Structure 1
Amino acid sequence: TALTITKEERSTEHSGYNCITFKVPKQGDDFLPNFRRGDMVYLYAYRKNEIPDIRKAFLFRGILQELHSDTIVVHLRNGQQNRNSLAGELFAIEHCSSDIGCTTAIQGLHTFITASKERKELLLGQRTPQRDTKIQLSESYNPTYDDVILRAKQATDYFLLIGPPGTGKTSMALQYLVREHKEKNILLLSYTNRAVDEICGMLTKNNIPFLRLSKEYSCDPQYINNLLSNAVKNNPTLTHIKQTISQARIIVSTTASLSIHTAIFSIKHFELAITDEASQILEPNIVGLLAAHNGEKQVIDKFILIGDYKQLPAVVQQDSEESATNSHLLENIHLPNCANSLFERLILTEQAAHRTDFVGILHKQGRMHPEIADFPNTYFYAQEQLECVPLSHQKEDHLCYNKPSEDSFDDFLKTHRMIFISSKSCHQPNISEKVNTEEARIVANVVRRLYRQIGTGFDAQKSIGIIVPYRNQIAMVRKELEQLNIPAIEDISIDTVERYQGSQCDIIIYSFTIQNRFQLEFLTANTFMENDKPIDRKLNVAITRARKQLILTGNEATLRQNFLFSELIDYIDHRGGKTTI
């Protein structure tokens, strides 16, 4: 609240005034905005000395383009030709709700219902998928991946690829699948924009042209030129848009973006659709896309789902009892719970049918250094028997921090790849339980030290990533980083575990944040048992984002009330990595 306009700009000559910069008044120490870049917001004006009331104002919908402690930039969905439309003494923003997800899910289910009998039976597990063993690879790509790429190519209906963390399911397997299906129209999908950024990065690195469906502020800036909106901005006619889509061999999108742009299916036919991070996508959000059809003709000939059921599942609001199907019909097609993904259901279908031709597992990981990989290998992937490739950074004996140490803690950072920093209790009655000021200061301290050690090689997108469980803690950490006055670290990604799936950084810092026992339930909500061992999917994802170093900070007394967290602390302690600041 109490925002004042400092600048009004047009993003293009035809857009109207749609980039609005606001000054944020100085707030108290306990103020933490529950927003992040890319959020949809309502913007409205109100008078001084009045309480902001969204019911009494004219609403503008927009997206948070930039978010800083003293300024924010809102990109309006509909630019205003008349600048006076934005007149007001003060402005407020609130989170913008949307029913588009529900609408597209219902539309997707309708598309599925009206699809061909053959495609419906395939997706319901009532028809045996087919393969053609006469098909061979056009070339050898990598001995580690050739067999699974061949089996994926021979599958003529679908193939399921299980890719544990760091096994190269995006950088290698997906790359080889795209290269092997030369001259084919390919649709590449994922659940989050961050994961789509990873796909775009792989394509760019391998000089593979693509077109992306996305809003500009949901896309990494380096891929903005690949956006459909930018490809047609100089000639935004329907004819040119259709031509641009038609000529693009590879189209990349989140499932959500594609669901609201299904008109593309009337323009283009795809021989192959590949969905990465498929274990995060609920069935209603993907079956309609895979069953898309123009009349009797399927739009997608074949699909490949890539995922890992030991990483984060789809996000649902209901608990497991509420989302249970309690239906013999649904249980017969291996859907005991509506919170399960299509990927997981088809895996269960293949296991029940004792088929192995349509499922592949990647076993070699090239992300984590062996000293980091050992814990998830022992506790989460004992059956898969993951091995290091190994790549050059996995062979390094020591961390490459060569600047003189400021103190003994710098020495500690230089010598341990897995570190647990025990944080002190910092309960404050006027601050949310979803905030931990002590850990925010620890994170900022560690970031400053690491930035100094990395020096000119520092890359905000690759060097350091910060994971926290709550949005409020994101704001608190960002606040502490801004106080360091180091411009280079402002673009470090700070986000929740859910948003980090599909990403990686050289160094991951994870602030557990919680200080109460009841909060453990939230942190461990995605845990399941396998062979009498707990598989904590959220912890698994957090740990396995790190390539070279993993730094954890948390309230030890609280965390030790959970078996797996206690095991992790002991594991690090036995290797000399536990400390305090």
Structure 2
Amino acid sequence: MARRLTPSECAELLEDLEQLADAKQAPWLDRCNLFSEVLRTSYLYATDDEVQRFATLAARQLYVHQALGVPEQLARNLEYHRRKIHRALLTKTEYPHEQLRDAIEALQCWIEWHRNKAAQPIAAQPQVPDETDTSLQPLSVRMVVSDRHTVHDSKGEAIPTFSGVVEATSERITLHLHDRWRAMGNLIRSGTVLHIIAGRWSDTNTLHCGSQALLVLEPDLLLDVTTVAECFTGNFNSHLLALLRLFATETTKGASAVVGTVVNACFDELLSDPTVSIGAAIDRALRMRYLDVLAAINSQSLSISSLQSDIEPHIATIQSVLPHLDKGRLTTEPTFLAPHYGIQGRLDVLSETEGDWRSVVELKSGSAPPSNLLLAASSGKSFSIGMRPNHAMQIAGYNLLLDAAYPGRTGSSQILYSAAPDAPLRNAPNAHDLKADFLVMRNRIVAMYVALAQRLFGDLDHLLRLDTHTLPPFHQSAFAQWKSAMGSLTDQEALYIRALISFAFAEWIAQLVGNPWRLSGYATLWRLSIPEKTEQLLALTYLRYDPEGSDITRGYLAFTFSDQTPRTTPFRAGDIAVLYPHTALTSDGSIQGQVFKCSIRELGDVKVVVSLRNKLFDRTVFTDDQWWALDADILSTNIDTMVRACAEFTLLPQQRRQLLLGLVPPRTEPRSVQRPARLTDAQFAVYSAAIGARDYFLLEGPPGTGKTSTMLRALVEHLLTDERETLLCAALTNRAVDEICSALKHLAGDGLLLRMGSIESTEHPALAFAGAARTRPFDELQQLVERARIIVATVPYLNANPSVFTLKRFTTAIIDEAAQLVEPQVVGIVSRVERFIMIGDAHQLPAVVQQSERSMRVSHPLLDAIELRRLDTSLFERLLRIAQRNGWHHAWGRLTEQARMHHIVAQFPGTRFYGREFGTLHAWQRNDPALLPYEQLPSFLRHRLVFVDTSPELHQGYNVGEARLVAACTTALATVLDPLPSNTLGIIAPFRKQIRTIIEQLPEALRAQVTVDTVERFQGSQRDHIIISCAINQPSDLRLIESIIELDGRPVDRKLNVALTRARHQVIVVGCRRILEHNTIFAELIAHIERTGIVLSASEALEMLGNCSV
């Protein structure tokens, strides 16, 4: 529910406004940015206990005004200033001082209203007069709903009616739903965003959505076209099938599914090279799907020879059809995003010719229906389609994608049934009724997902009540098994599963629309303009295609930076991205043409190289006479795998479920093991306990304690001495998996170790199974898998490729970085192994989660009993809490000796976050003097702990004075440390804008030698000297740099812990003391530095730096 602001929140925001009002000489842009931030923060505070998600600030604002009964005039004034100042910032049009003064007064009045509900609103702001000519009203409108009421037509039938505002203008409008759209009325609530296309205006403020219109619920929530289409079966068309697909689907592909994927790959091969032989095409296709093929062979459902004979008739049909396809520029698997319709999709083939002619061909390898099959639309109209209903509706979704991408597009849409040699190619109608029915289904699925995210499980209960025989035959067996398993769960298990399901869908929404406290989310791709993305450092923009540096035949495209390209980016090599020309983004939020899914192959200072996912594309698109941009992509499969993991948990034996919940203690079998020479006494004690675990062991390793390089290596070496053991080693990131490979590479001889995943994503290509799969015969690949006793992979790869568990039966899984994995990410993996050892540190950074704080909190006695109070808690942390609470000392161990930090650097994080001082493993950590041995440095820079007090500025997300000071300290240190190895100096800043500002202040020669990045990017690494730039200018910004959780009875700031423990010899903290001390932990840190190091002002530090000879 929305709530009134607390007195402390009001005081904090009024302090920010006072700073804004006093800064009359500051640039208007800075003042407007701060106004927008304070306004936004006030509404975030008002909804921080609300589980409903809001796509935009306008939706959140309208909901709060409605829920709290804000006086109408005050509400209108606030909406007016939000819209006007946003427009000024967007267009970089100077905002007059007088109008900004009025805006500040309105915001002050809003905050005072929370303190005293009787406070009087200020005078109304001038509004733009209403347009009286209905012919000038827009053809499409994004509307934010405020409330619902019902009117009746001439027949006395109820017409769902909604009041709200036009999102872009805040103009009040009323919407009436007619015909097929009436049923959508029950899905809409206050704060919902609707997109109405081709509605009818009866007057300037009344819009009707009837049979010729289209309605899209929450258009920024993009659903895959196939997700919607698979809900149409003909006999049972229901949005519940989208949920069923997640819960009751076989995790490994059967023979027919493997044949289908290989046939599709062959189709791509034949299109890209029509001269290729059938044998070569099949071989290439098999190698593209090598994991599924090997899993099917291993399960004895097919052989290579039978697979080839099954595929050959499909290839013959495809070859007979190729001459009859539309000729033109061909693209395989082109991707389209259509936020106008709330969908996205990847076509099989797009053919383009001159003009607007664009044709779609979708390949289906299953059996073909009768060529005269009819499909009835909800309007009563029937279409002779000769294709299955789900295929026809898939084409309807693709037609919507192309309508959005190419307005005025013409062309055919066809299904190619490769199993039907007589009539394989069938045309699908491009009919409005089918598109409308498609969007009705899409809206129902979105409403269901939103409800699940808000912990409303009516649709799940409805699904569980279905009779198995009402479902399509291919779903019945898996559904019956899952339904029976759900029915056998205890109340506690059922509540646990529902909590994780809610978390997964809430995360899906947050990944698309972003976290309300920071500018993020996939929707920024189309919601923000190129200048906004450039300013906010959310994308690589103003790129030029470089044909000379590209290998276009392999899909490797190079782009050079321009002067306008931001040098601080959200990317690193290996990240997935979306590539598109600047001209693709339109002012109405649509995306013209296709976008190109890719991964970052190389990222340098002046260029970026990407690898396109689809290798057959229209090469004429890539020219060097237009600007290109790269935005971050998301993996929607992560959400699917999290939900499927919940289903897999339900299918486990009850004893295993109880074990994973923490209701029964894990078994142990103490063993007498020989001590590895490199382990200390303390390490050996933890090692021995882990070896003796029969179910699981939790190894907690604070920073620098050798979790991977020492402990994981020793555990693997011992386990391999037992011939019955087959090990799975996993971690969240490719970098962490490569560290595992580095620790174990001495075991790679005789094929004991295989690295799963793309060969391009690893620093150990010789270990990559994908490399062998390119050329080795399949019988040899089978032998490689059988011989391997250690499989190493990322957790996302394992979740996306469950075939791995068909290929190998694992006795023990060792999961590194376990505290960075939310429970649904890992529960499916540990469910498939006999024993698991998790290695991590709950005191360091948690999993990266996008959703709001409120949606992660849960409270129920049954969940309290298993230590589940936050849904972003890792399984590692939850089981660790249970083990510590219950005294299961055999189930966990903590390393207490670190080999990284000088004891002065380690003292505060050790005592404050872990409750004890760390032991040290090297003499220098204890014996080196308190002052650094560089007499040329200013005296304050010789201290191992330094805090420099700076002044706040009006900027959002950066502080120029701080950046200059950081650069000056870095330059002084670099001078005395010359030559400067790349791992010597590191600068941690919380915001990309501050990173950019610091880099701009650094001398050119140091920019390549000094790492400047966020704390998230520093986890897992270390430097001799660390400088932390806090860049906090207002108290309300503090929550953006915190990650506070209670562990061992004490609050722990996980971000601060990681930042401080990256340093070996010295930590320098730079920030505004007055603001930072609002945070108790920062106040304690500053007091500790004052006792054991030095605290000084920025002016003192700059004076000493200026007087220094270095």
Out of 576, 599, 613, the residue aligned to residue 63 of structure 1 is 599
| Equivalent residues of 2:748, 2:767 under 8 A apart | no
Give, in whole Å, the separation in 1 of the partners of 2:625 and 2:753. Answer: 45
The answer for the alignment partner of 2:176 in structure 1 is none
Out of 817, 823, 826, the residue aligned to residue 277 of structure 1 is 817
Give, in whole Å, the separation in 1 of the partners of 2:930 and 2:550. Answer: 50
The answer for the alignment partner of 1:545 in structure 2 is 1062
| Equivalent residues of 2:1044, 2:1051 under 8 A apart | no
- Of 273-282 and 125-134, deviating more is 125-134
1:570-581 to structure 2, matched below 5 A, reads 570-579=1087-1096, 580-581=1101-1102
Using the TM superposition, give the Cα deviation of residue 479 of structure 1 relative to its aligned residue in structure 2, in angstroms: 4.4
SS in 2 for 1:199: helix
The answer for the alignment partner of 1:455 in structure 2 is 978
1:388 aligns with 2:926: no
Deviation string for 1:143-174 (max 9, x for gaps)? 23222111111111111112222222222222
| Equivalent residues of 2:899, 2:921 under 8 A apart | yes
Using the TM superposition, give the Cα deviation of residue 327 of structure 1 relative to its aligned residue in structure 2, in angstroms: 3.3
SS in 2 for 1:379: helix
Are residues 272 and 555 of structure 1, via their aligned partners in 2, closer, same or farther at CA, if it must alter by over 3 Å? same
Give, in whole Å, the separation in 2 of the partners of 1:104 and 1:560. Answer: 42
Give, in whole Å, the separation in 1 of the partners of 2:649 and 2:592. Answer: 42
Using the TM superposition, give the Cα deviation of residue 515 of structure 1 relative to its aligned residue in structure 2, in angstroms: 1.4
The residue type paired with residue 249 of structure 1 is R
Using the TM superposition, give the Cα deviation of residue 493 of structure 1 relative to its aligned residue in structure 2, in angstroms: 4.0
Give, in whole Å, the separation in 2 of the partners of 1:476 and 1:200. Answer: 36
Using the TM superposition, give the Cα deviation of residue 518 of structure 1 relative to its aligned residue in structure 2, in angstroms: 0.5
Which structure has more helix as a fraction of its residues? 2
Are residues 333 and 92 of structure 1, via their aligned partners in 2, closer, same or farther at CA, if it must alter by over 3 Å? same
When Rg is computed on C-alpha atoms for both structures, the one with the higher figure is 2
SS in 1 for 2:556: strand
Using the TM superposition, give the Cα deviation of residue 555 of structure 1 relative to its aligned residue in structure 2, in angstroms: 2.5
Give, in whole Å, the separation in 2 of the partners of 1:388 and 1:256. Answer: 35
| Equivalent residues of 2:544, 2:561 under 8 A apart | yes
The answer for the alignment partner of 2:729 in structure 1 is 188
Out of 883, 888, 911, the residue aligned to residue 378 of structure 1 is 911
1:470 aligns with 2:988: no
SS in 2 for 1:2: strand
The answer for the alignment partner of 1:175 in structure 2 is 713
Using the TM superposition, give the Cα deviation of residue 494 of structure 1 relative to its aligned residue in structure 2, in angstroms: 3.5
Using the TM superposition, give the Cα deviation of residue 326 of structure 1 relative to its aligned residue in structure 2, in angstroms: 3.0
Out of 821, 841, 846, the residue aligned to residue 308 of structure 1 is 841
1:147 aligns with 2:685: yes
The answer for the alignment partner of 1:295 in structure 2 is none
1:434 aligns with 2:961: no
| Equivalent residues of 2:1025, 2:1067 under 8 A apart | yes
Deviation string for 1:104-159 (max 9, x for gaps)? 21222223222344432321224432122245347555223222111111111111
| Equivalent residues of 1:45, 1:88 under 8 A apart | no
Give, in whole Å, the separation in 2 of the partners of 1:136 and 1:216. Answer: 37
The answer for the alignment partner of 2:660 in structure 1 is 123
Using the TM superposition, give the Cα deviation of residue 543 of structure 1 relative to its aligned residue in structure 2, in angstroms: 0.7
The answer for the alignment partner of 1:397 in structure 2 is 929
Give, in whole Å, the separation in 1 of the partners of 2:864 and 2:691. Answer: 30
The answer for the alignment partner of 2:570 in structure 1 is 35
SS in 1 for 2:834: strand
Are residues 503 and 201 of structure 1, via their aligned partners in 2, closer, same or farther at CA, if it must alter by over 3 Å? farther
Gaps of 5+ in 1: 293-299
Are residues 21 and 56 of structure 1, via their aligned partners in 2, closer, same or farther at CA, if it must alter by over 3 Å? same
| Equivalent residues of 2:944, 2:1093 under 8 A apart | no
| Equivalent residues of 1:140, 1:146 under 8 A apart | no
| Equivalent residues of 1:186, 1:249 under 8 A apart | yes
The residue type paired with residue 115 of structure 1 is L
1:353 aligns with 2:886: yes
Aligned residue pairs total 550
Normalised TM-score (structure 1):
0.84
Structure with higher RCO (Cα < 8 A, 6+ apart): 1
| Equivalent residues of 2:815, 2:837 under 8 A apart | yes
Give, in whole Å, the separation in 1 of the partners of 2:777 and 2:954. Answer: 58
Give, in whole Å, the separation in 2 of the partners of 1:340 and 1:129. Answer: 20
| Equivalent residues of 1:231, 1:244 under 8 A apart | no
Give, in whole Å, the separation in 1 of the partners of 2:1051 and 2:958. Answer: 27
| Equivalent residues of 2:952, 2:1032 under 8 A apart | no
Are residues 576 and 525 of structure 1, via their aligned partners in 2, closer, same or farther at CA, if it must alter by over 3 Å? closer
The residue type paired with residue 44 of structure 1 is Y
Using the TM superposition, give the Cα deviation of residue 287 of structure 1 relative to its aligned residue in structure 2, in angstroms: 0.4
Give, in whole Å, the separation in 2 of the partners of 1:451 and 1:160. Answer: 41
Out of 312, 322, 338, the residue aligned to residue 871 of structure 2 is 338
Give, in whole Å, the separation in 1 of the partners of 2:854 and 2:1093. Answer: 42
1:112 aligns with 2:649: yes
The answer for the alignment partner of 2:743 in structure 1 is 202
- Of 342-351 and 319-328, deviating more is 319-328
Give, in whole Å, the separation in 2 of the partners of 1:214 and 1:123. Answer: 28
Using the TM superposition, give the Cα deviation of residue 214 of structure 1 relative to its aligned residue in structure 2, in angstroms: 4.5
Using the TM superposition, give the Cα deviation of residue 54 of structure 1 relative to its aligned residue in structure 2, in angstroms: 6.2
Give me the CA root mean square deviation: 3.3
Are residues 560 and 337 of structure 1, via their aligned partners in 2, closer, same or farther at CA, if it must alter by over 3 Å? closer
The answer for the alignment partner of 1:75 in structure 2 is 611
Give, in whole Å, the separation in 2 of the partners of 1:200 and 1:479. Answer: 37
Out of 539, 551, 562, the residue aligned to residue 1079 of structure 2 is 562
Are residues 98 and 529 of structure 1, via their aligned partners in 2, closer, same or farther at CA, if it must alter by over 3 Å? closer
The answer for the alignment partner of 1:265 in structure 2 is 805
The answer for the alignment partner of 2:634 in structure 1 is 97
Are residues 67 and 549 of structure 1, via their aligned partners in 2, closer, same or farther at CA, if it must alter by over 3 Å? same
Give, in whole Å, the separation in 2 of the partners of 1:165 and 1:188. Answer: 20
Using the TM superposition, give the Cα deviation of residue 55 of structure 1 relative to its aligned residue in structure 2, in angstroms: 1.2
Normalised TM-score (structure 2):
0.46
Give, in whole Å, the separation in 1 of the partners of 2:633 and 2:947. Answer: 38
1:418 aligns with 2:950: no
Give, in whole Å, the separation in 2 of the partners of 1:448 and 1:559. Answer: 26
Give, in whole Å, the separation in 2 of the partners of 1:540 and 1:103. Answer: 33
Give, in whole Å, the separation in 2 of the partners of 1:539 and 1:325. Answer: 25
The residue type paired with residue 637 of structure 2 is I
Using the TM superposition, give the Cα deviation of residue 412 of structure 1 relative to its aligned residue in structure 2, in angstroms: 4.0
Deviation string for 1:14-69 (max 9, x for gaps)? x83422222222129xx675422144221123559987976102211112344455
Using the TM superposition, give the Cα deviation of residue 218 of structure 1 relative to its aligned residue in structure 2, in angstroms: 5.0
SS in 2 for 1:63: strand
Give, in whole Å, the separation in 1 of the partners of 2:932 and 2:590. Answer: 53
SS in 2 for 1:314: coil
Using the TM superposition, give the Cα deviation of residue 437 of structure 1 relative to its aligned residue in structure 2, in angstroms: 3.2
| Equivalent residues of 2:981, 2:1009 under 8 A apart | no
Give, in whole Å, the separation in 2 of the partners of 1:339 and 1:263. Answer: 27
Are residues 313 and 50 of structure 1, via their aligned partners in 2, closer, same or farther at CA, if it must alter by over 3 Å? closer
Out of 524, 528, 539, the residue aligned to residue 1042 of structure 2 is 524
Are residues 50 and 169 of structure 1, via their aligned partners in 2, closer, same or farther at CA, if it must alter by over 3 Å? closer
| Equivalent residues of 1:8, 1:17 under 8 A apart | no
The answer for the alignment partner of 1:297 in structure 2 is none
| Equivalent residues of 2:898, 2:919 under 8 A apart | yes
Are residues 245 and 484 of structure 1, via their aligned partners in 2, closer, same or farther at CA, if it must alter by over 3 Å? farther
Are residues 248 and 49 of structure 1, via their aligned partners in 2, closer, same or farther at CA, if it must alter by over 3 Å? closer
